[in-house]
Amino acid sequence: MSSVVTPYNQSSSKKQQVAEMFDNIAPRYDFLNHFLSLGIDILWRKKAIRLLKKHRPKTILDIATGTGDFAIEALKLNPEKVTGIDISEKMLEVGIEKISKKGLSEKIHLQKADSENLPFEENFFDAITAGFGVRNFENLEKGLSEMYRVLRENGMVVILEFSQPDQFPIKQFYNFYFFKLLPAIGKIISKDSRAYTYLPESVSAFPYGNQFLNVMQKTGFHELKYYPLSFGVASIYIGRKGKHPVGV
C-alpha cells in the first residue's frame, strides 16, 4: 500500500507525531480549514451527513473528531447522542469549548481515544463518521477494523477524505495550490512549518477511489460506494457492516 508519511520525520511513531502536530495547530485549525478551502469543507461535511439521513441513526460515533465540526453537523440527523473521539487533547479542548458555547454539550460528548483501539463494545453504534481522519491513522486497516467492530449490524460508515483530481486543468491547478500555495499560507498562519506540507504529502500517498474501497472491503465492509466531490479533490466513501462478522 502507501508509503508512510509522517508530519515531522522524527523517530517517534506516526501517531505521536500526528497528535503533536494537531496539538500545535489546534487554536488555528478551524480558521485555516475554512480559509484554505474557501468554506467548501463545510459543504462536503453537509453532503456526507445527508447520506445518513434515511438510516436515522440514534447513536453516532465521530472518529478523529478534532474540533467537532462533523459531530456538530451530525446533529442534523436528530440522533440521541453523538460521541466524538480523537488523540489530540488540544483539538478536543477547542471542540469541547465550541460545543459548550453552542449549548450542545447534552447531545455531543467528546473524549480522548485512539481510533485503532476503540474503548467501546462491539455492535455499539448505529453509524460512524470520519472526516479527514483516516489518512492520519498509523495503521489504516486496524483503524477501519475497529470502526467495523463497534458498528452495529447493518450500520453505516461515512468517511470523508481528501482524494486527487485526475482531469486537466483541475489537476494542474490543484497541484499548484496544494503543493505550493497552501503550505506557504498554512505555515504563516498555523506557525507550524510542517503541518501544511504534511497535508499534500499525506494525500499523495493515500489510496483513493476504488483503491480505498478495496481496503474497506478487506476490513469487512460491504455495499461500498464513493462520491467524488469538487472534481475529486475530496471523496465520500460509504459502506455497511454485514450481518455476520468477517470470516464467518
The answer to whether residue 146 forms part of the interface with ligand SAM (CB under 6 A) is no
Which residues, other chains included, contact 125 with Cβ-Cβ below 8 Å and sequence gap of 6+? Answer: 57, 59, 60, 61, 83, 150, 151, 152, 155
The owner of cell 485549525 is 29
Backbone angles phi and psi of 131, in degrees to 5: -110, 115
The answer to whether residue 229 forms part of the interface with ligand SAM (CB under 6 A) is no
Q: Which residues, in sequence order, are bridge partners of residue 237?
A: 159, 226
In the bound state with ligand SAM, the residue whose beta carbon lies nearer, of 215 and 242, is: 215
The CB-of-130 to ligand SAM minimum distance in angstroms stands at 7
Applying CB under 6 A, among 57, 133, 220, 232 the residue interacting with ligand SAM is 133
Amino acid at 107: K
Q: Which three cell numbers stand for residue 116?
A: 485503532
Residues that contact ligand SAM, how many (by CB under 6 A): 23
In the bound state with ligand SAM, the residue whose beta carbon lies nearer, of 50 and 242, is: 50
Report how far apart the first and last C-alpha atoms of the chain are (Å, whole number).
26
The answer to whether residue 219 forms part of the interface with ligand SAM (CB under 6 A) is no
The CB-of-244 to ligand SAM minimum distance in angstroms stands at 27
Can you tell me whether residue 92 is helix, strand or coil? helix
The answer to whether residue 132 forms part of the interface with ligand SAM (CB under 6 A) is yes
Q: Is 161 exposed, middle or buried (0-12, 13-18, 19+ CB in 10 A)?
A: buried
In the bound state with ligand SAM, the residue whose beta carbon lies nearer, of 116 and 201, is: 116
Applying CB under 6 A, among 48, 87, 127, 216 the residue interacting with ligand SAM is 87
Applying CB under 6 A, among 5, 8, 18, 57 the residue interacting with ligand SAM is 18
Binding residues for ligand SAM (CB under 6 A):
15, 18-19, 22, 33, 64-66, 69-70, 85-88, 91, 114-116, 131-133, 136-137
